[in-house]
Amino acid sequence: MSTRLKAPPRSGEYAIQAEDLGVQYNLRFTRKTTLRQSFASIVLRKPPERFWALRHVNMQLAHGESLAVIGPNGAGKSTFLQVLAGIMRPTEGSVDVRGQVSGLLGLGVGFDVELSGIENIQLGGAFLGLDGSRIQELLPSIIEFADLGQFIDAPLKTYSQGMRARLGFAIATAVEPDILLLDEVLATGDAAFREKSKQRVGELVREAKAIVLVTHDMNWVTDHCNRAMLIEKGTIILEGEPEEVVAIHQERSAQRRAEQQAKGVFSAAKAAPGAAARR
């Protein structure tokens, strides 16, 4: 049975508002571009290759709403969270985020693998703007929630991916932020911890916190989120009830897979005569 929380009634107050938001990347200096290629482009005055990771994004999220951002890989979902977190500045448009923001935008982000779990809690707390006394006050509850046993005193480099997710999630949610941003972190760890994480997100929503999470877990979207947004190629395709958005996403994903399979069959058939001739 679904445990999805109902969205609160909309008012003039919002937690996040994006208006005509756009983020553009300059591909000239990407990792795949060599120094020689970059130098040649400058000397020859070639126009830089530009790519819109997000374009014309408009949305508003109220306190007490849990928004799932879904879409295919490379759609711009993680870029959207980075803009909300203040890590990345928009190229055009605006975004207004009201309240204390906490986020886990990837496993191990902000961690030091040479430090112990406890030391990384202190480091993470400092990144969130907490002073030393507040960190010490929260330390026992973070350790309890992460449930890492003796590993809490071990260097992070000895942790598995799931253990890092536990620690990061425990830190990100311990401060009871007004806005919580999560990027594909609920898919890691064991089943018991995933369930505990979902319960914690539910508590934050009931406390009128705003949640934005990127996930590929469609069951989580329909069971625990009260809104969903489908992004493809940097633009919003659909926003609304989770069941409706998930259904459209699954239909479009199935269509893309069928098209890719058809292309593969066509390519194989086209190559077959040449291969036979070579034999």
Task: Give 113-160 pLDDT, tens digit per residue.
Answer: 999 999 999 998 888 788 889 999 999 999 999 999 999 999 999 998
1 located within any domain:
no
Looking at the DSSP bridge assignments, the partners of residue 23 are 54
- Looking at the structure, do residues 35 and 89 belong to the same domain, yes or no? yes
Collect all residues with Cβ–Cβ distance below 8 Å to 211 and sequence separation of at least 6.
65, 66, 67, 179, 180, 182, 201, 204, 205, 225
- Looking at the structure, do residues 117 and 65 belong to the same domain, yes or no? no
219 located within any domain:
yes
53 located within any domain:
yes
- Looking at the structure, do residues 76 and 183 belong to the same domain, yes or no? yes
Answer with the one of 177, 195, 224 that is the final residue of a domain.
177
Q: Are 113 and 155 in contact (CB under 8 A)?
A: yes
Rounded CA gap, 149 and 169, in Å? 16
Say how many domains are in the chain.
2
- Give the structural domain span for 125: 100-177
Q: Over 90: is that where the pLDDT of 240 sits?
A: yes
Pick from 2-6, 198-202, 223-227, 245-249: least confident: 2-6
194 located within any domain:
no
Pick 191 or 5 by higher pLDDT. Answer: 191
Say what the pLDDT of residue 32 is. Answer: 45
Residue of 111, 7, 25 whose CA lies nearest to 61:
7
Pick from 32-41, 70-79, 144-153, 252-261: least confident: 32-41
- Looking at the structure, do residues 38 and 82 belong to the same domain, yes or no? yes
CATH assignment of the domain containing 237? 3.40.50.300
- Looking at the structure, do residues 71 and 109 belong to the same domain, yes or no? no
- Looking at the structure, do residues 59 and 18 belong to the same domain, yes or no? yes
Bridge pairing between strands 50-61 and 16-26: antiparallel
Say what the pLDDT of residue 1 is. Answer: 43
Which amino acid appears at position 159 of this protein? Y
Most confident option among 130-134, 222-226, 239-243 = 239-243
- Looking at the structure, do residues 128 and 148 belong to the same domain, yes or no? yes
248 located within any domain:
yes
Mean pLDDT of 220-237: 93
276 located within any domain:
no
- Looking at the structure, do residues 26 and 92 belong to the same domain, yes or no? yes
- Looking at the structure, do residues 64 and 183 belong to the same domain, yes or no? yes
- Looking at the structure, do residues 72 and 183 belong to the same domain, yes or no? yes
Q: What is the pLDDT of residues 165-186, one digit of tens each?
A: 889 888 888 877 899 898 876 6
- Looking at the structure, do residues 183 and 263 belong to the same domain, yes or no? yes
Is residue 209 helix, strand or coil? coil
Pick 12 or 172 by higher pLDDT. Answer: 172
249 located within any domain:
yes
Most confident option among 39-48, 247-256, 259-268 = 247-256
- Looking at the structure, do residues 81 and 183 belong to the same domain, yes or no? yes
Say what the pLDDT of residue 157 is. Answer: 94
pTM: 0.77
2 located within any domain:
no
Place of tokens 């699954």: 250
Say what the pLDDT of residue 243 is. Answer: 97
